[in-house]
Structure formats: structure tokens, C-alpha cells
Amino acid sequence: MKYSRSKPQSIRALFDSIATDYDRANRLLSFGLYGHWNQYLIRCMLADKTPKKLCDLCSGTGDIVRRLSLAMPKRALPEIHCVDFSPVMVEVAKVHAPDAVFHVADVLALPFEDASFDTMTCAWGIRNVSDHEQCLKEAARTIIPGGRLYILELTRPHSKFLHMLHSFYLKHIVPPLGRVIAHNQDAYCWLQESIDSFVSPETLILAAKLAGWKTISARPLVYGVATLFTLER
């Protein structure tokens, strides 16, 4: 199947097809970095401010909110809402994060009133949406002034040599492994396509600024293989 941001139904079908194997595949294909990076997002968020009402965009299997629940006393947990447009992902996430409220919805048209949240997260999702600028605008609309959005995303390594190795791994090694682990080789061909065709961190920061955000930090992880963006409304 051909996947494309311009055909959101194809991206939904992609994530529906790999939902049950998603976390395991990501851990294996990233050599364990997937979990490390998700945990790093949680540490950075809690170091900044304890959230009171949080929305996890493109929540996938719920790994971010699961880790948040483990990092905080249950009595101190914020009200948590998770949004994903893959109904199969949402069903998986309900098992991982039973304390959250789930919404099968599009991040381009969030089902919330203005200024509903003080904290938002978006891990590994904005690269897959059809309009990242609209996603940033909707996040800005639904967060309070001074609220923060943490975006964790795969990016391209800084050095030409690392970029070459990274591209080779994504193009020639990941898809066959994806077929074995998650039973969908095409989904892991899309992984490379989505990274190569997505905007640079600098362009994402500019889009965030135009949407009403100011950048607190953009932290490259493992020489730019991933980036954690911290934005404030």
C-alpha cells in the first residue's frame, strides 16, 4: 500500500495495521532509544512544571502517558486526554493508560474548547499529519497562555556521514525488519520517506512561531537523529 500525508486515510490504515506491534518494533529498530527518548520528554516536562491538565496529541499506544503515570504519584496525576485518529491505536493505548480519557479525533480539528490545557505533548506524530502548521495552530488554540507543548520527532542527523548511514539503515535495513517484527514492510518504508520529506527543525520552529508559539528550546538527540522541541504559548 502507498502511504502519503496527502491521503490521511492511508496513514490511519498504516497505524491501524501496526498498532499491536508498534512499541516492540520501535524499541528494537531504535536499539532501545525509543523508550529512552520518551522518558527524556517526561523528565524535561516535569523539570519545567507539573502539569494539571495535559493533552497528548498523536498519542499512539499511550506510551508517553504511561510513563508519566509511572513517574508521578497517582494522587498528583493531571487530568489526561489522549488524541489519535487511529481507532486501533486508541484501543491499545487504553490498556497502557487506563487513567486517561481517549478521543478518536484529528489533531487538525481538536474536539476541545479554547485554552483547555496547560501542557501538551506530541511524540512521533507531527511528521505524519497532513498539515503540521494547522496542527500547531490547533494546539495553540487549545492551550492556555504560558502553557507548553513538547514535540518529540525524528529528524535528520547533522553530519553528512551520519546522514548517509542513517538513510542506509532506514532504507535497506528497517523495512525487512519491519516485515518480520510488525508484518508490514511498506509501513517501515514510509518511515524513511516521512523523515526525508518532513521539514527541518528550523522550518518547524518558524511554523510554530507563525502559529503563536515561542521556542524555549530545540534539543538534538543522538546528533540530530531526533529532536525535542519545547514551545511556550
Instruction: Check whether 83 has a pLDDT greater than 70.
Output: yes
Cα dist from 14 to 7, 128, 219, whole Å: 11, 11, 29
Write down the mean pLDDT value for the chain. Answer: 96
Looking at CATH, the fold of the domain delimited by 8-232 is given as: Rossmann fold (3.40.50)
Residue ranges of domains in the chain = 8-232
pLDDT recorded at residue 2: 84
Using CA atoms, how far apart are residues 43 and 40, in angstroms rounded to an integer?
5
Q: What percentage of the chain reaches a pLDDT higher than 90?
A: 97
pLDDT digits (tens, 9 = 90+) for 138-180: 999 999 999 999 999 999 998 999 999 999 999 999 999 999 9
Using CA atoms, how far apart are residues 10 and 25, in angstroms rounded to an integer?
20
Taking residues 109-126, report their average pLDDT.
Answer: 98
Q: List the grid coordinates of 111.
A: 474536539
pLDDT recorded at residue 1: 66
pLDDT digits (tens, 9 = 90+) for 13-38: 999 999 999 999 999 999 999 999 99
- Cell 546528533 locates to 223
- pTM of full prediction above 0.85: yes
The helix or strand, by DSSP H or E, that contains position 80, with its residue range, turns out to be strand 79-84
Query: Which letter, b or e, does each residue of 67-96 get, where b requires 16 or more Cβ atoms within 10 Å of its Cβ?
Result: bbbeeeeeeebbebbbbbbbebbbebbeeb
